[in-house]
A = this chain, B = another copy of it.
Amino acid sequence: MWFKIDLYSSLSLNEQIKMGIKESILKGKLREGDTLPSIRELASSLRVNPNTIVRAYKDLETEGIVIAKQGIGYMVLKGKAEIRRIVLKDLEKKFSEEIFRFKKIGFKLDEILEVIKNIWEK
């Protein structure tokens, strides 16, 4: 498959699978209109229970990124550019509570940006 599962990641399998699909679209390995690998296929390829894939695919459907068709499979609805926007929006949501706390405590924006740059350079 186009991505792998890291059992030691802090992300749940579910999150890793969703991210994996989004990355595949970003990298052009999946395009708008393509079908995702079937649930059973991806499950056996990643050595994960099919139910885990089901949950991840359904989440992606809720996000509006794919659509399910009985007997056919899951089809990609969004292109590279839209996924890029979605993923950055996800990041914003994920970081915002923490950032707000730092702002409220009295830290400066530059201090936070410095932290990000530090991580980036490593």
Q: What residues of chain A have their CB less than 8 Å away from a CB belonging to chain B?
A: 7-13, 19, 23, 26-27, 62, 67, 69-72, 75, 77, 87-88, 91-92, 94-103, 105-107, 109, 111-113, 115-120, 122
- Indicate if the CB atoms of A120 and B115 lie closer than 8 Å: no
Task: Take A69-B7, A97-B10 as given contacts and tell me if A118 and B106 are in contact as well, using a CB distance cutoff of 8 Å.
Answer: no
A94 x B105 contact (CB < 8 A): no
User: By the criterion CB–CB under 8 Å, are B109 and A88 in contact?
Assistant: no
- Residues in chain B near residue A7, CB distance under 8 A: 69, 72, 75
Contact assessment for B113 and A116 in the assembled complex, using a CB-CB cutoff below 8 Å = yes
Closest to A121 in B: B109
| Contact indicator A105/B67 (Cβ below 8 Å) | no
